[in-house]
Structure 1
Amino acid sequence: MTHSGTQLGRRTLLKAGSLFLGGIGLADLYRLRAAASKPENDTAVILLWLEGGPSHMETYDMKPDAPVEYRGDFTSISTTVTGMDICEHLPLQSKLADKFTLIRSVSHKITDHPGGAARFLSGYVPKNISKLTSDYPTFDTIVGKLRGDTAGSSVPRFISNKTALKGGGPAYLGPTAQPFVFDSAPHLPDYNVRDVRVSDDIRPRITDRRYLLSQFDRIRRDIDANGSLHAMDEFQTRAVDLLSSSSTANAFDLSQESQATRDRYGDHRMGQSALLARRLVEAGCSMVSLDFGRATKAVPTWDDHGDAQHIFKSMTARLPMYDQAISALITDIFDRGLDKRVLVIATGEFGRTPKVNMGRAAQPIAPGRDHWADAMSILVSGGGMPMGQVIGATNSRGEHPADRPLDPNDFLATVYKFLGIDPAENLHDQRGRPIPILPHGDPISELL
């Protein structure tokens, strides 16, 4: 190859490598990863994403003294924490209230599903509230990027049951910030995670592939002494590590759990997904993002409009499964000594209208609640944070924060602090423009 040909190839590869990195420079990526991967920050997040927007009035912010058209059909029950009452259909959580904290005063202004999710998960107001993917990277993808898989890591650092949550995604961070995706039905008898096992007859070829990659590394270093092409074969390296290690396959293997444990989580999608999340963070995953929106085929997402489904019937069917799953997960996080390094989050993109919708003239199916971003509730557990609290409050009808109003960015700043990620740091878009991880937001002091 001539000198000019080598230079052309080098420039082409450098450009491809830059695109592969999704607009973040190698030096910045390594620096941010180093900060996010310090030994003292060996932390993980499990996000239970309640897609559709769960009603705060039927879960964690009951209003038993409000008029009937606001309070709905359910009653509240007391918990092990004085003053923290929750829905009657969450009895298991009521016994664990000292192991979680409720935030009742977060609000924003976007009531469209994708836009609300993008606003909550990225910290940025979306340019198009109906766009199914975010214009800015959501926090789970940022964790995936900054805690990204390294050579020799046997378990993916970012795992999800969806390529991207509705309204989420890596945006300009590119494909390396996407999760390893598994099938979202671990409760089924024939459940099998593809791409984590390799047959014995293929394994020698995997070993050869590793050798070939190592040889390519040597040649590449000869071409580019600065290592600017490091990202070129990141996907291949991750695939080889995944296939040649048993750690990931074992982490996904729920048959290694006792039947009693599996029964405790529940023989349903939510329960077995939560159990799987616990196994994944124990195995070394930093970010598990679960779409917790669909309990069963008969019980769709938490989007309980009066013209779509009967909210009280749907909640009566959905909440016991949710209660069983999250209660088992919280119990295990504490019993297994994970409560300092693992943070469990349960939330959706917004709350629902405080006043019950009794149906529309065209579709008089009722009752239901519509989208409402002026009030929502968030559950957090673990993370070494103070538990057994209720942070903030809404007014007597659950319409808006009346005490300790908080922005989603305050919550995200808290999560980033737990993870050892500085939200003031800049990422770069495809044009090289610096964009802060968060445009604003202060960690919630009650959780520090």
Structure 2
Amino acid sequence: MKQQLNCLGPATRREFMRIGALALGGMTLPDVLASRAAAGQSHSETSVILFWMWGGPSQLETYDLKPNAPTDYRGPFRPIATNIPGMDICEHLPLQAKIADKFSIIRSLHHEMSAHNDGSIEVLTGKTPTVPDVTSQARSEHPDFGMIAARMRGPRPDGLPQYVGAHKAPFMTQPQYLGLSSKAFETGDPSVKDFSPPNLKLIADTDNNRFIERRSLVSQLDRYRRDLDLNGSLDGIDQFRGAAFDILSSTSVAAAFDLKQEPDSVRERYGSHRWGQSCLLARRLAEAGVAVINIDATATNDKSPHFSWDDHAAAFDLGVANCERLPQMDQALSALIGEIFERGLDRKILVLACGEFGRTPRLGFAQTNFQGQPSYGRDHWPQAFSALISGGGLRMGQVVGATNSKAEYPTQSPVTPQDLLATVYRHLGIDAAHNFINFAGRPVPILPFGDPIKELI
């Protein structure tokens, strides 16, 4: 088995929590609108929801179990049958097993980046980092597919953002040559009491006079600034300030983010936890026409010791961590997929669940982990990993690709991250051969290579 020499072990909670970015990159809302309007793009209505499991979920504990492998490979969980013959998945995903006809599993994903951020950049942008960073602190040289969708779609007439991070957006990708206006709008945790996303709070009717007064004051300041503008460089600023106020007062924007409009039975179906309510919010936003919604599926809550899917033996016990995660993942994803099909949205919305890579097929053991306990775990393994894909008008109820008897590498229909992204861009109606101009003045294609996954088309 090929060994990973550049895996330095699990990141600490402090290191994990240290990483982050502002939702709009320090830009004001009018700046965002002005920049996106400059792109002159129209918007479409297809959407992609990414259930992003940063840290690297194990293929052997989710969608590619190997019950006949030696004991030091096969792991603690057993496979169960789904409603599709031959498509077995983990025993802790029983709700998904009942609706396997509504999704497909890709078991043959692979690449060569074995550090967290490098692998994430590969999967989210389709570009291989120029200089791989073994410390997992790399930052992208290229925008991720959500940023590209935001740029290509342009501003929505109803003011909804085109790229939203449910709770958070991926921290390792940057818009770079697209400009900060392409960054995701981050909502905060949708499971908190009285959830309301930052910077998009609708002014209450009782405060309407104050809202009007503030708009009038800004208009007066803009007129004053224009009087001092001898070059006319401030022409049009009222247009974008007006659009910003329209967003803040838009009932359609407020409604899309308002989870209280959902019946209690629907909210309970998704689960009251972070992942469940994030999936519900994502469904509402996709239904409203947001292009890309990233669900931050790292920790199930702020108090969980399992703050990512990075299941090294020295970090988390593989069995304990996944017994916490998988039931909540199962509830959230099965509700999301079920509702998409029940509402007739399965051609409009594509759901993708994956991480940046898989885990080593051979189990490791540590005398003590972050909780001071002995534990089993797996290290980073980009040579083979799995993903779930649903909707998008694609062919459902099948397994794409296969790995060998120990889940070490693909043996059938190998799929690259570029192929996966080509499938995503096809659904979004974005030409993956389109070029942007980088900071050096050179054309950069959205994807350097890759084709839509033929088994799904």
TM-score, L = length of structure 1:
0.85
- Partner amino acid, structure 2, of 1:344: V
Identify if the C-alpha distance between structure 1 residues 209 and 409 changes in structure 2 by more than 3 Å, giving closer, same or farther.
farther
In structure 2, distance between residues paired with 1:289 and 1:378: 15
Within a 5 Å distance, the mapping from 1:205-354 to structure 2 comes to 205=213, 208=216, 236=241, 239-296=244-301, 297-298=303-304, 299-354=306-361
| Contact kept? 1:203, 1:244, Cα under 8 Å | no
In structure 1, distance between residues paired with 2:179 and 2:169: 12
Residue among 77, 90, 94 paired with 1:91: 94
In structure 2, distance between residues paired with 1:318 and 1:234: 46
In structure 1, distance between residues paired with 2:161 and 2:433: 26
| Contact kept? 1:163, 1:181, Cα under 8 Å | yes
Identity of matched residues, %: 45
In structure 2, distance between residues paired with 1:252 and 1:308: 35
Name the counterpart of 2:27.
Answer: none
Name the counterpart of 2:199.
Answer: 195
In structure 2, distance between residues paired with 1:213 and 1:242: 20
Identify if the C-alpha distance between structure 1 residues 25 and 263 changes in structure 2 by more than 3 Å, giving closer, same or farther.
closer
Name the counterpart of 1:12.
Answer: none
Residue among 402, 414, 420 paired with 2:429: 420
Residue among 109, 123, 128 paired with 1:125: 128
In structure 2, distance between residues paired with 1:210 and 1:329: 42
- Partner amino acid, structure 2, of 1:327: S
Residue among 369, 379, 382 paired with 2:378: 369
After superposition, give the CA deviation of every residue in 1:141-187 in whole Å (9 maximum; x if it has no partner): 1112112324x323111111366413222122121101111112x21
Secondary structure of the corresponding residue to residue 411 of structure 1? helix
5+ residue gaps, structure 2, are 1-30
In structure 2, distance between residues paired with 1:134 and 1:125: 9
After superposition, give the CA deviation of every residue in 1:62-113 in whole Å (9 maximum; x if it has no partner): 1111111111110000001111000000000000000001001010001111
In structure 1, distance between residues paired with 2:251 and 2:327: 35
Identify if the C-alpha distance between structure 1 residues 240 and 213 changes in structure 2 by more than 3 Å, giving closer, same or farther.
farther
> Number of aligned pairs?
412
In structure 2, distance between residues paired with 1:213 and 1:84: 63
Name the counterpart of 1:46.
Answer: 49
Within a 5 Å distance, the mapping from 1:69-148 to structure 2 comes to 69-128=72-131, 129=133, 130-148=136-154
| Contact kept? 2:60, 2:407, Cα under 8 Å | yes
Secondary structure of the corresponding residue to residue 108 of structure 2? strand
| Contact kept? 2:45, 2:290, Cα under 8 Å | no
After superposition, give the CA deviation of every residue in 1:194-250 in whole Å (9 maximum; x if it has no partner): 22212413332465489789999x99xx978xx9998x7897455323112011211
Deviation of 1:50 (Å):
0.4
Secondary structure of the corresponding residue to residue 447 of structure 1? coil
Deviation of 1:446 (Å):
1.3
After superposition, give the CA deviation of every residue in 1:378-415 in whole Å (9 maximum; x if it has no partner): 11110011100100001010000011111110111111
Identify if the C-alpha distance between structure 1 residues 214 and 293 changes in structure 2 by more than 3 Å, giving closer, same or farther.
same
- Partner amino acid, structure 1, of 2:443: P
After superposition, give the CA deviation of every residue in 1:288-325 in whole Å (9 maximum; x if it has no partner): 11111111222321111100110101101110000000
Secondary structure of the corresponding residue to residue 367 of structure 1? strand
| Contact kept? 2:169, 2:295, Cα under 8 Å | no
Secondary structure of the corresponding residue to residue 254 of structure 2? helix
RMSD between aligned residues: 2.9
Residue among 389, 396, 409 paired with 1:400: 409
2:152 maps to 1:149: no
Identify if the C-alpha distance between structure 1 residues 52 and 243 changes in structure 2 by more than 3 Å, giving closer, same or farther.
same
| Contact kept? 2:169, 2:294, Cα under 8 Å | no
| Contact kept? 1:25, 1:428, Cα under 8 Å | no
| Contact kept? 2:337, 2:390, Cα under 8 Å | yes
In structure 2, distance between residues paired with 1:273 and 1:361: 33
- Partner amino acid, structure 2, of 1:203: F
2:366 maps to 1:359: yes
Secondary structure of the corresponding residue to residue 134 of structure 1? coil
In structure 2, distance between residues paired with 1:213 and 1:281: 37
Secondary structure of the corresponding residue to residue 105 of structure 1? strand
In structure 2, distance between residues paired with 1:426 and 1:372: 32
Identify if the C-alpha distance between structure 1 residues 84 and 258 changes in structure 2 by more than 3 Å, giving closer, same or farther.
same
In structure 2, distance between residues paired with 1:25 and 1:95: 42
Name the counterpart of 1:58.
Answer: 61
In structure 1, distance between residues paired with 2:382 and 2:297: 19
| Contact kept? 1:308, 1:365, Cα under 8 Å | no
Report the structure, 1 or 2, having the larger helix content: 1
5+ residue gaps, structure 1, are 1-19
Deviation of 1:188 (Å):
2.0
- Partner amino acid, structure 2, of 1:72: G
Secondary structure of the corresponding residue to residue 106 of structure 2? strand
- Partner amino acid, structure 2, of 1:303: D
Name the counterpart of 1:10.
Answer: none
- Partner amino acid, structure 1, of 2:109: V
